[in-house]
A and B are shown apart, each in its own frame.
Chain A
Amino acid sequence: MARLTINGTAQTVDLPDEVPLLWALRDGLNMTGTKFGCGVAACGACTVHIDGEAVRSCQVAIGDVWGEVTTIEGLGTPDAPAVLQQAWVDHQVAQCGYCQSGQIMQAAALLAEVPNPTDADIDEAMQGNLCRCGTYPRIRAAIHDAAQKLQEA
């Protein structure tokens, strides 16, 4: 039994303490926006924030979660998307879309730290996030676009 704060809401998950956060979200709480791609920190599909930092949720046991969790569902919704999510839509980034929750969470953490990232910053921050559909050019464009919009706002 673990108590977690997810997207600002206190939640109790009735699963063994060693179960990774990824599966507590997906299977314990039916929050399926966070994806499973590899289970070994090699793809980034499971990326969430803990206290604002991008982490691979497949690698953090629920017993060890050290702060507030934000998932893709907490970033924005179809009716009220975050600026970054809207940039993803505007640039028609997703193909299969399966990696994109993780890509967006990783990019959100980047923008929080580096409001106006260079291409090199993007390369550095995003290289842990695999996209088998190869959407990288549009991910890059969407990040630059969102950075600009966030700075104008």
Chain B
Amino acid sequence: MSRIGKIARRTFLIGTAAVAGGVAFGVYAARKPAPNPLTPKDGEVALNPFIVIDGDGVTVIVPKAEMGQGVQTTWAALAAEELDMDPGDLRIQHGPPGKAYYNRGMGTQMFPTAEYRLSGWQEALGNQMSVAGKFLNLQITGGSTSSADGFEKMRQAGASARETLKEAAAQQLGVNRSALKTEGGAVIAPDGTRLSYAELAVAAAEIKPIVPDLRPQSSWKHVGKSQPRHDQMPKATGTAQFSLDVRLEGMKFAALKRNPYQGGGMAGFDPSAALDMAGVEDVINLGDGVAVIANNSWSAMQGAEAVVFDWTPGTYPETSDMIFETLRAAFDGDVNSTLLETGDVDILPDGATEITADYQVPYLCHAQMEPLSATALFTGETMEVWSGNQIPIHCRDVAAKEAGLDPEAVTLHTTLMGGGFGRRGFLDFTQYAARLAVKMPGVPVQLLWSREEDMSHGFYRPGAVSRFRGAVKDGRAVMVDGQIAAQSATASLMSILLGMAPMGPDKITVEGAFDQPYALPNARVRGYLADMDLPVGPWRSVGASINGFFFDSFIDELAHAAGADPLAFRLDMMRDEDARSASVLEAVRDASGWTGKTPDGVGRGVAFCHSFGTPVAEVIEVHQTDAGIKIAKAWIAADVGIALDPKNIEAQLFGAMTFGLSAALHQQITFADGAAEQANFYDYDAIRMHTMPQVVDIRILENGHRISGIGEPGTPPAAAALANALFDLTGTRARRLPLAEQFDFAV
């Protein structure tokens, strides 16, 4: 049978559209290719897992979680650049789980070194480690790695496809490949004959894929320019399908209810009151919780509240006070990491003034706009799962485990997601849906978490405490000695991804503090891990979301103690250490017209954080009004190395800053009697239209020697910039979050 025949027999069910009889081809450039999940057999057709061509045109597979960051559009533009196609003419699908979709961008983040200091060999090694990552099934969207991950491989996929299609045309026309051009999805012969990619695809699939050089940046037509996002119209018309929008024939609606004392068990439950309710059909035991089945989601959620439970206690300290006591006690235990140590911090330099400050930040919920859910259908031999997730291979495998099936018997559809912010990198919402489906064979079921269920069950951003000691002399910082204690944000995730908890220094706990580009003659940053069962995990910008506040606030305190202008003080220490970071600070200074002086009733703060390879500086301006303090204006500058899509980068920057301001202002998850006290947006509020500052200017710099991420780095400076501005306005230094507890904001 011809190869195309074999492919044609197999229908790729990808997302909502079927690509039947399509040809997926190109080359997969790693030395030992991972099997192409788009082909029947490894190596049978020389294939690229990223580009599929059928009679209707070209589809690019973007195996990344689209959570709002625009990754699908950016990756499509990268492929389009080499394919000589208009990015708007490409169809985009998420594709199935596949080892070939390992994340190549994660490697450099594994080094316990400040990213701004990474040398050439470390980066090369990082890339090697990333190749190793594919054997660990790391198909993950996270760590602001997508741009770096896709930057080369999507262009390679496009370039290889283009040249191989040209070769097919060359053979057909009896001319040399070099005599051919490509344009608008077709190969053009010297005499003007056009052969569309679609008509060449079958022949091209027979040819050994060609691996051409990538085009130089100077010739780019699409990459580097703002692209209209392909998901805008669906999202403006309510036609985009999110996880909760999956609708299947005969589908039941279910609501989850689990033990609010997280980690505790279920000794028993009485479903009778729920079963009496209109619309409720069943209450199903899921082990440590139940699912209430109904003919609509609301009745299911009402039913879930009516079930009477006998919960057993959770496995962590019961109150916030006790939890933070445990965090502080970690300072008396072993040091987990000392990733920054220069000079001598034990001796106060002669004539220097010593400053100390303790800080604290709360636990936080992701509160992504779309509550968690997944949908599953179990037939006995197979399972089909729809889930908006960041780790598709792991989600497929956990569903298979629940059903006692081979992973191959599970089809996982990764849907659009209404925000993620790190929460969708966990398995629980997929796992519970699969567990429920197994108990309802033949019936498709959607398992929804109410907002309250979502908010009361972490993986929370860990709360953290820190102690800083520093010294200033002659207007400069001469010493910084920081200690940070928290639960590890990534240990639980790494256990899921790698099957083991990582050992050694936990870089994430101190990132945003140990790795900042300041020339400090005497400096040390030590991390301490508190061991508690309270579920924690990555939250947009992870450790830097904590240390961006701790470290930069302390730098600001040092600046004031030194009698220096806070921006000039930072710049002074940064210029020799990292010119790229200094340029970012200068850009925000110029954009905001920073003078260091503010009139009465106006306060300004600047903050800086280098995270995920991207230096970001923000200035926030606050105004005292009759109604309270208003966050009035914001300026942002960032260096992303190479800006793939400036308008999208802008959106990520002000979005990430807003995410940080929301947390700084309002948010905390506190615990009483072992349960989270916050339930919904009325007690876990965020920045809204009327409290959003005017984003006056965003400056995007491109001085980096490599591409860096943008989904997260806008978050870390936000809280510090706001707290520093409040200090300028009121003279009161905020050393803990949230700020609305300590300042009178206009609401």
* Pairwise interchain contact A135-B655, C-beta atoms closer than 8 A: yes
Cross-chain contact A133 with B689 (CB below 8 angstroms): no
Interface flag for B670 (CB, 8 Å): no
Chain B residues in 8 Å Cβ range of A5 = none
A58 to chain B, nearest CB (A): 8
Q: Which residue of B lies closest to A120 (CB)?
A: B690
Residue numbers in A under 8 Å from B367 (CB-CB): 132
Minimum C-beta distance from B518 to chain A (A): 29
CB distance from B447 to the nearest CB of A (A): 13
User: Quick check: B237 and A96 within 8 Å, CB to CB?
Assistant: no
A42 within 8 A of B: yes
The verdict on A11 contacting chain B, using a C-beta distance below 8 Å, is no
> Does B298 lie at the interface of the complex (its beta carbon under 8 Å from any beta carbon of A)?
yes
Task: Give a binary string over A16-38; 1 marks a CB under 8 Å from any B CB, 0 the rest.
Answer: 10111011101110101111111
25 contacts between A and B (CB under 8 A): A15-B279, A19-B298, A27-B253, A36-B244, A39-B450, A72-B237, A73-B237, A76-B237, A88-B232, A88-B236, A89-B228, A89-B236, A92-B229, A94-B68, A98-B68, A98-B242, A98-B370, A127-B688, A127-B691, A132-B421, A134-B657, A134-B659, A135-B655, A136-B689, A136-B692
**Contact, CB under 8 Å: A81 / B233:** yes
- Contact (Cβ within 8 A) B68 A92: no
Interface presence of B219 (CB below 8 A)? no
Do the beta carbons of A132 and B680 come within 8 Å of each other?
no
Kindly name the residue among B69, B229, B658, B688 whose own CB sees the greatest number of chain A CB atoms within 10 A: B688
CA distance A126 to B689 in the complex (A): 6
Q: Cβ of B237 and Cβ of A132 under 8 Å apart? A: no
Instruction: Determine the residue in chain A with the shortest Cβ distance to B679.
Output: A40
Interface size on B (CB < 8 Å)? 68
* Bound-state Cα–Cα, A98 to B424, Å: 15
- Cβ–Cβ contact A94 & B236, under 8 A: yes
Shortest B390–chain A CB gap in Å is 13
Minimum Cβ distance to chain A for residue B521 (Å): 39
Contact A81 B658 (CB under 8 A): no
Interface string of A110-148 (1 = CB under 8 A from B): 000000000000111011111111111111100000000
Query: Is the CB–CB distance between A134 and B232 below 8 Å?
Result: no
CB <8 Å contact, A96 and B370 = yes
Please state if A99 and B369 are interface contacts (CB–CB under 8 Å). yes
Contact A95 B236 (CB under 8 A): no
Contact A35 B301, beta carbon cutoff 8 Å? no
A51: min CB distance to chain B, Å: 20
Query: 1/0 contact trace for B395-423 toward A, CB 8 Å?
Result: 00000000000000000000011111100
B651/A135 in contact, CB under 8 A: yes
Closest 10 CB pairs of A and B: A33-B238, A134-B658, A98-B418, A96-B68, A97-B235, A95-B68, A72-B238, A123-B690, A42-B681, A32-B245
What is the size, in residues, of chain A's interface with B at 8 Å between Cβ atoms?
65
Q: Is the CB of B681 within 8 A of A22?
A: no
Other-chain contact of B369, A19, A89, A96 (Cβ < 8 Å): A96
Interface flag for B682 (CB, 8 Å) = yes
- Check if B247 sits within 8 Å of A36, measured CB to CB: no
Q: Do the beta carbons of B451 and A38 come within 8 Å of each other?
A: yes
Is B433 part of the contact surface with A, judged by Cβ < 8 Å? no
**Shortest distance from the beta carbon of A38 to any chain B beta carbon, whole Å:** 5
Contacts of B652 in A (CB 8 A): 95
On chain A, the residues within 8 Å of B417 by CB distance are: 96
> Which chain A residue lies CB-closest to B241?
A32
> Contact at B690–A127, with CB atoms within 8 Å?
yes
Cα A128 to Cα B655 in complex, Å, equals: 18
Residue-wise, chain B 236-277 has the 8 Å CB interface mask toward A (1 for contact) of 111111101101000001000000000000000000000000
Contacts of B236 in A (CB 8 A): 81, 85-86, 88-89, 93-94, 100, 104
| A96 touching B298, Cβ below 8 Å | no
- With CB as the reference atom, state the residue of chain B lying closest to A81: B237
Question: Is B371's CB within 8 Å of the partner chain A?
Answer: yes
Interface residues of B in 453-497 (CB under 8 A from A): none
Name the distance in Å between B350's Cβ and chain A's nearest Cβ. Answer: 47
Contact in complex: B369, A26 (CB < 8 Å): no
Give bound CA distance, A96 to B69, whole Å.
7
CA distance A40 to B686 in the complex (A): 15
Complex CA–CA separation, A120 to B656 (angstroms):
24
Say yes or no: is A43 at the interface (Cβ < 8 Å to chain B).
yes
Q: In the complex where A39-B450, A95-B69, A97-B416 touch, is A138 in contact with B370 (Cβ < 8 A)?
A: no
A140–B242 alpha-carbon span in the complex (Å): 24
A92 touches B682 (CB 8 A): no
Contact of A134 among B228, B654, B690 (CB under 8 A): B654
Q: Is B299 an interface residue (CB 8 A)?
A: yes
User: Which residue of B247, B296, B368, B450 contacts A23 across the interface (Cβ within 8 Å)?
Assistant: B296
Which single member of B70, B237, B299 contacts A16 (CB below 8 Å)? B299
| A126 vs B244: C-alpha distance when bound (angstroms) | 24
Cα separation A42 to B455 with both chains bound (whole Å) = 14
* A81 proximity list for chain B (CB < 8 A): 233, 236-237
Q: How far is the CA of A35 from the CA of B743 in the complex (A)?
A: 34
A101 to B421, CA, bound (A): 21
